[in-house]
Amino acid sequence: MKNILLLSIRTFCFLCMTFPVWAQKSSWTVGMSQCNLGEPWRVQMNADIRKAAASHPEIKVIFKDAQNDNLRQRAHIEEFVSAKVDAILVSPKEAAPLAGPVRDAFKKGIPVIVIDRRVLGDDYTCFIGADNKKIGRAAGRWVKEKLGGKGNVVELKGLMTSTPGQDRHTGFRESLQGMKIEIVFEADMKWLEPNARKEMESALARFEKIDLVYAHNDPGAHGAYLAAKSAGREGNILFVGIDALPHEGQTYVKQGILSASFEYPTGGREAVEAAIEILRGKIVPKEITLPSRVFTKENIDKGGELLAE
Amino acid sequence: MTSGHWNKVILGRPAVRAGMSLLLVFVVGIVFHADGTFLKWETHRDLLRQISVYGILSCGMTLVIISGGIDLSVGSVMALAAVLFSLFTIHQGWPTGIALIATVLTGALCGMISGGVVSRFKIQPFIATMAMMVFARGVAKLVSGGQKISTAIQQPDGIYQYVEVPRSFDVLNARILGDNLATVTLILAVCVVSCWILLSRTSWGRHLYAIGGNEEAAWYAGIPLTRMKISAYGLSGLFCAVAGICQAAQELQGDPEVGVAYELSAIAMVVIGGTSLRGGTGTIGLTVFGILIIGYLEKILSINAVGEEIRLMLTGLIIVVAALFQMKRM
């Protein structure tokens, strides 16, 4: 009995002594609400945040997954506020439903960093995102140059009710204006590879001459490649995708499946860095637009090439 | 012999009515042939490949629906199988045979658990299989770490190492018979024939119809309800695993997100064929009609590059028309 008591006292003393160490180790808690983890790109964003946070022992990140549910994500923000976190990272599902909770948190003095998709109004600390229209335009310019200004193109669109899908489409078409490049076939593959393969099979059956496939994401381009390979026509067609995740687009470029993949950066690392700056009392810009890179066979080993506007 | 009598004999047969629906879809295809694309053999060959995974799921779904139940977990169990098969063959480098057996057994186990919950605890099939739908999706995400299992393997230091696609994937993704038939279509055919034998040539099949028709009567007749249901749902899980393996082979990767809402397509294929959701009736042949009707419909819309909005609306309308065809009063 005496021993146990002694042991308890010793343990207690030890804990008290080490307290400052582990208290300092994660002196800041940051909440992160991800709108869903069904998309590999968002899984990658969380991985980037985790990786960036690992090199800063002073912050600890709590991850939450809203599973594509506006109200659940709303609850996340409210939970973070009542848990008194030091900063909130949020990658919203939609702009309107989250505006209120984000404003409340911001008004209570908690810094809020919004990633990728926006919230309505400007009651947040910082927005970090990339420009899909710019990426679409860059893809269009690349295609124009590669095809010499003429040819038959298939466009496999992402979900056209989502802004990334719309922007990647309009940006691309803007760059092709006045060219002899004809979009012979376009279909909404809803970001999904099996759909892209189905649609591409229809395009292949219908058109003898297809020079290039522009897909709004890399899995779409990969699905189109598989369809062309199955028809024995992959050698005559170029495939271009967007996102350039390490294990998807960049891999496909390395394997020679895609001719080019345009990066859509996740902003995970930048968000953690911005949070630390803010918590250290520094001021960060209200709006951070992430640079994007293009990966091709020639530059993939050098880590891609930054896009010019 | 009045014409009314002939109407009854000919049009009274569900297979004839399903055939008429299919014929109607065909006529639509010939009218909207998209510069002759619908008339090319390749279009039909590719269609038969596309519907294979859905078709395999519908085979299991037919068994469960005949037993008076429903299986909402097929899409998720399929995703789990796709992930497991890719993990076993691409990442672990297991021999194909062992990977196949392990994956198929896991699928069957998922189904048997659903069947056990339905029969032992008397939980409604809708709820029991919905639970499995959510659970299996969770397992698929867990074992894959939320990422697609592909030939790019991330090492502990974060660098990607690239491996070759396993031969089993190439075999399943290839075509046979002089490039005229996809291997996965052959697998669908094997599944259909197995179901046909089970349903119409074995006592197991007769018991299944009996349970679907009148469960209490079947129980009084001494049919082992629990065992029958566990085996029916287990077979559905087994078919899901086969479908998952085919899906992974065609995508060259195991995607934990694949197969969302596939259960709805599978149910639609079974019901449009003419198998009643009430159970106790229907055949696998009707399901084949259902698979072809929905498959051709999608293909015709796709080759004509019809916009997504119109596609959804037309699909809804045509499902209703096909269901009307199946009504007894016609």
> Which burial class, exposed, middle or buried, applies to A148 when counting CB atoms under 10 A from its CB (0-12, 13-18, 19+)?
exposed
Task: Give the pLDDT score at A10.
Answer: 62
Q: What is the CA radius of gyration of chain B?
A: 21
| Residue type (1 letter), B141 | K
Enter the tokens of residue A22.
């582990």
pLDDT digits (tens, 9 = 90+) for A9-29: 665 555 555 554 444 445 899
pLDDT digits (tens, 9 = 90+) for A76-91: 998 899 889 999 999 9
Domain residue spans of chain B:
36-325
Task: Give the pLDDT score at A23.
Answer: 46
Residue whose pair of structure tokens reads 């559905």 in the numeric block:
B236
Closest residue on chain B to A44 (Cα)? B147
pLDDT digits (tens, 9 = 90+) for B254-276: 889 898 889 999 999 998 888 88
Strands A260-263 and A293-296: antiparallel
| A187 contacts chain B (CB < 8 A) | yes
Residue whose pair of structure tokens reads 């899980």 in the numeric block:
B237
pLDDT digits (tens, 9 = 90+) for A146-162: 999 899 999 999 888 77
Mean pLDDT (whole number) for A120-129: 91
Using a CB-CB cut-off of 8 Å, the residues of chain B touching A154 are none
φ/ψ (deg, to 5) at A307: -80, 140
Using the 8-state DSSP alphabet, how is residue B164 labeled?
P
Write the ipTM.
Answer: 0.72
Closest residue on chain B to A224 (Cα)? B251
CATH of A132-264, one of 3.30.2130.10, 3.40.50.2300, 3.40.640.10, 3.40.50.300: 3.40.50.2300
Are the C-beta atoms of residues A156 and A187 closer than 8 Å to each other? yes
First-to-last alpha carbon distance for chain B, in angstroms, is 19
Assigned architecture for domain B36-325? Orthogonal Bundle (1.10)
The proportion of chain B whose per-residue pLDDT surpasses 90, expressed as a percent, equals 52
| A223 contacts chain B (CB < 8 A) | yes
3-state class (DSSP) for residue A217: coil
| A273 contacts chain B (CB < 8 A) | no
Using the 8-state DSSP alphabet, how is residue A238 labeled?
E
For CA atoms A141, A299, A129, A195, give the dihedral sign: positive
Higher pLDDT, B289 or B324: B289
Are the C-beta atoms of residues B32 and B281 closer than 8 Å to each other? no
What does CATH list as the number for A15-130+266-291?
3.40.50.2300
pLDDT digits (tens, 9 = 90+) for B6-24: 666 666 688 888 888 888 8
Closest residue on chain A to B303 (Cα)? A202
Interchain CB distance below 8 Å, B148 and A247: yes
Which candidate in B46, B142, B153 is best for mutational testing of the A interface (most A CBs within 10 A)? B46
Using a CB-CB cut-off of 8 Å, the residues of chain B touching A230 are 46, 173, 175
Which candidate in B302, B310, B312 is best for mutational testing of the A interface (most A CBs within 10 A)? B302
Domain residue spans of chain A:
15-130+266-291, 132-264
Identify the contact set of chain B against chain A, taking CB-CB distances under 8 A.
34-35, 37, 40, 42-43, 46, 50, 141, 146-148, 150-152, 154, 160, 162, 173, 175, 247, 250-252, 255, 257-258, 298-299, 302-303, 305, 307-308
Cβ density class B189-220: b for 16+ within 10 Å, e for less = eebbeebbebbeeeebbebbbbbbbebeebee
Interchain CB distance below 8 Å, B251 and A194: yes
Closest CA to A35 of A80, A94, A85, A88: A94
Using CB atoms, pick whichever of A37, A40, A201 lies closest to residue B46. A201
Residue B82 to residue B90: CA distance in whole angstroms: 12
Fold agreement (A15-130+266-291, A132-264): yes
> Which burial class, exposed, middle or buried, applies to A28 when counting CB atoms under 10 A from its CB (0-12, 13-18, 19+)?
middle
pLDDT digits (tens, 9 = 90+) for B149-180: 888 887 777 677 788 888 888 888 888 887 78
